[in-house]
């Protein structure tokens, strides 16, 4: 054994507590930043210097944290001050635990997926300890799992559809002759194959966003019109299931908040996501509301948020279930829900899509009294809406210019011969085909009694 060498190594290691702490901060893979109460950086460890791409700790010390730690949502969406969890935690002195976001690194602008935490330290200086953990590897592993589920669901959908088709043929008296007992068995098999088909479709839908197959495509849009167009698609179903269905009912929601449906409310959303969100909420409202019940949908501006509610007078949700309904595969288990088909993925998808648009979803309900699902999304002022519309139009014009074949500017072109008028273009289709008008409905009674409240957020 080389005693001399061993001795020198040991001598180099710090022996006091502060020396050891310094060593840990120097070699740890997580970035650690310490600021004072007002957010001025006091300390940065080497891992944070590398992540923030700020050159050296000396350059960072004395700067405001906001100049160095720039975040986007994990889906790559710009965050307003209200939505930025770091700004909120620093401002309020509340702790922030392992929030997933995207760090925009210094001059390179490289995006690093991180889990960010803020720990306020008691004391006169009111220091804040910010930690940044690079989660690229974790996300890649999760992505592989998601990819597997998505591919498996996709592959399994086809044979399930074939089984479903043959079962339908077997059950159709015009294509097959079967006895009553066989009909019972096949009917049960048919219901199970349909459930399986829906499960694979839902799995595909929820994994699409996680594995990056889709990204939100934000557009500025007037929200009352958008929600109404989607809700209109349910008028026929309401008539068939003999449920009172109203858009913009003057009845307040269960919260009793006043609202004006004549309001013009602008949002910045992905219209496909909005359709998926409302389809799931409305589908549930119809599924869990018996004949003679009522469903109504409202949209209103609420400060800097757009607030949508889908309210029903159906079976309601117990306080115990209410805390779990936004989790994957969760289904309330009671004698009523057992007879109603479902996969337990609808509300998970709703939460996922709403959060990807910078929103929040939650429910208020009491068992046997009906439910209200609220979706709150960032709202645009008229000015912001106009600005974003101009940007959208400019981009569309640029795209058109790029896609239009250009002729050389240097060669004089002959005057073009008069062209026949262009063939008329089909009118743009509404987002949903408008359904026939609904007959006048009696006013809907708001849901009474004690209300349980649950936040759909994490
Ligand atoms: P499912 O496919 O089972 O409807 P969801 O994720 O859409 O899955 O909903 C989860 C559970 O929440 C449902 O199983 C049901 O118990 C409950 N739920 C959702 N919406 C309503 C509603 N409008 N009224 C009563 N219960 C509801």
**CATH code of the domain in which 347 resides:** 3.30.565.10
User: Is 340 within a domain?
Assistant: yes
CA distance 297 to 246: 6
- Residues 228 and 375 occupy one common structural domain: yes
45 lines ligand 1 (CB under 6 A): no
Collapse the DSSP code of 395 into the 3-class scheme (helix H, G, I; strand E, B; otherwise coil) and give the result.
Answer: helix
Provide the pLDDT confidence category of residue 74 given band limits of 50, 70 and 90.
confident
User: Is 1 within a domain?
Assistant: no
Q: What CATH number has the domain bearing residue 199? A: 1.10.287
- Residues 239 and 306 occupy one common structural domain: yes
- Residues 249 and 172 occupy one common structural domain: no
Going from the Cα of 281 to the center of ligand 1, the distance in angstroms, rounded, reads 9
- Residues 322 and 371 occupy one common structural domain: yes
Going from the Cα of 369 to the center of ligand 1, the distance in angstroms, rounded, reads 14
Q: How many domains does the chain have?
A: 3
456 lines ligand 1 (CB under 6 A): no
On whether the CB atoms of residues 135 and 114 are closer than 8 A, the answer is yes
Q: How many CB atoms lie within 10 A of CB 91?
A: 11
* Residue with tokens 């909120």, as numbered in its chain: 88
Task: Decide which of 108 and 177 is more confident.
Answer: 177
pLDDT over threshold 90, residue 421: no
Range of the domain at 114: 18-134
Tokens of 412: 């004089």
pLDDT over threshold 50, residue 85: yes
Give backbone dihedrals phi and psi of 42, rounded to 5 degrees, phi first.
-110, -30
On whether the CB atoms of residues 402 and 207 are closer than 8 A, the answer is no
Going from the Cα of 126 to the center of ligand 1, the distance in angstroms, rounded, reads 45
Q: How many CB atoms lie within 10 A of CB 52?
A: 25
Beta pairing, strands 266-269 & 219-222? antiparallel
Q: What is the pLDDT of residue 399?
A: 81
372 lines ligand 1 (CB under 6 A): no
pTM score, whole prediction: 0.71
Q: Best of 206, 332, 338 to mutate for ligand 1, by most ligand atoms within 8 A of CB? A: 332
User: Is 7 within a domain?
Assistant: no
Provide the pLDDT confidence category of residue 440 given band limits of 50, 70 and 90.
very low
User: Is 405 within a domain?
Assistant: no
- Residues 144 and 121 occupy one common structural domain: no
- Residues 320 and 243 occupy one common structural domain: yes
- Residues 261 and 343 occupy one common structural domain: yes
Using alpha carbons, select from 451, 210, 449, 458 the residue that is nearest to residue 309.
Answer: 451
Q: What is the pLDDT of residue 145?
A: 85
Q: What is the pLDDT of residue 7?
A: 47
Nearest atom within ligand 1 for CA of residue 333:
16
Residues 6+ away with beta carbon under 8 Å from 211 = 143, 146, 147, 150
CA distance 65 to 187: 63
What is the tens place of the pLDDT at every residue in 298-343? 999 989 999 999 999 999 999 999 999 999 889 887 766 677 878 8
pLDDT over threshold 90, residue 14: no
What is the tens place of the pLDDT at every residue in 19-43? 999 999 999 999 999 999 999 999 9
- Residues 122 and 148 occupy one common structural domain: no
How confident is the prediction for the chain on average, in pLDDT?
A: 83
User: Is 10 within a domain?
Assistant: no
What is the tens place of the pLDDT at every residue in 242-284? 999 999 864 544 344 445 566 899 999 999 999 999 999 999 9
């Amino acid at each position: 054994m080389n005693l001399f060498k061993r001795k020198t190594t040991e001598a180099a290691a710090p022996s006091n507590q502060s020396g050891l702490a310094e060593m840990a901060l120097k070699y740890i893979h997580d970035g650690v930043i310490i600021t004072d109460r007002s957010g001025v950086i006091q300390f940065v460890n080497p891992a944070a210097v590398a992540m923030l791409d700020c050159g050296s700790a000396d350059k960072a010390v004395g700067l405001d944290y906001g100049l160095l730690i720039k975040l986007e949502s994990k889906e790559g969406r710009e965050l307003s001050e209200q939505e930025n969890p770091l700004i909120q935690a620093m401002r309020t002195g509340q702790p922030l635990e392992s929030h997933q976001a995207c760090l925009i690194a210094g001059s390179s602008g490289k995006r690093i997926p991180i889990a960010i935490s803020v720990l306020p330290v008691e004391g006169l200086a009111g220091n804040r300890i910010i930690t940044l953990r690079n989660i690229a590897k974790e996300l890649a592993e999760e992505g592989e799992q998601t990819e597997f589920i998505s591919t498996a669901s996709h592959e399994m959908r086809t044979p399930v559809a074939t089984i479903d088709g043959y079962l339908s043929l077997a059950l159709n008296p015009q294509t097959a002759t079967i006895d009553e007992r066989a009909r019972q068995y096949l009917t049960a098999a048919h219901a199970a194959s349909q459930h399986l088909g829906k499960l694979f479709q839902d799995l595909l839908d929820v994994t699409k966003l996680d594995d990056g197959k889709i990204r939100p495509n934000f557009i500025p849009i007037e929200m009352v019109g958008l929600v109404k167009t989607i809700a209109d698609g349910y008028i026929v179903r309401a008539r068939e299931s003999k449920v009172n269905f109203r858009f913009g009912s003057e009845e307040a929601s269960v919260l009793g908040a006043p609202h004006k449906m004549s309001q013009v409310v602008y949002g910045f959303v992905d219209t496909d996501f909005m359709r998926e969100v409302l389809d799931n909420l409305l589908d549930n409202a119809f599924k869990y509301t018996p004949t003679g019940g009522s469903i109504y949908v409202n949209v209103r501006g609420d400060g800097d948020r757009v607030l949508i509610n889908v309210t029903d007078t159906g079976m309601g949700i117990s306080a115990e279930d209410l805390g779990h309904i936004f989790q994957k595969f969760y289904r309330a288990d009671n004698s009523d829900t057992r007879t109603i088909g479902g996969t337990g993925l609808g509300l998970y998808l709703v939460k996922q899509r709403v959060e990807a648009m910078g929103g929040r979803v939650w429910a208020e309900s009491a068992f046997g009294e009906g439910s209200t699902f609220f979706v709150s999304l960032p709202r645009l002022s008229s000015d912001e809406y106009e600005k974003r519309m101009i940007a959208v139009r400019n981009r569309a014009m640029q795209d058109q210019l790029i896609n239009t074949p250009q002729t050389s500017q240097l060669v004089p072109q002959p005057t073009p011969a008069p062209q026949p008028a262009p063939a008329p273009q089909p009118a743009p289709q509404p987002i949903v085909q408008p359904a026939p008008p609904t007959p006048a409905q009696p006013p809907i009674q708001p849901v009474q009694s004690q209300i349980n409240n649950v936040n759909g957020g994490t």
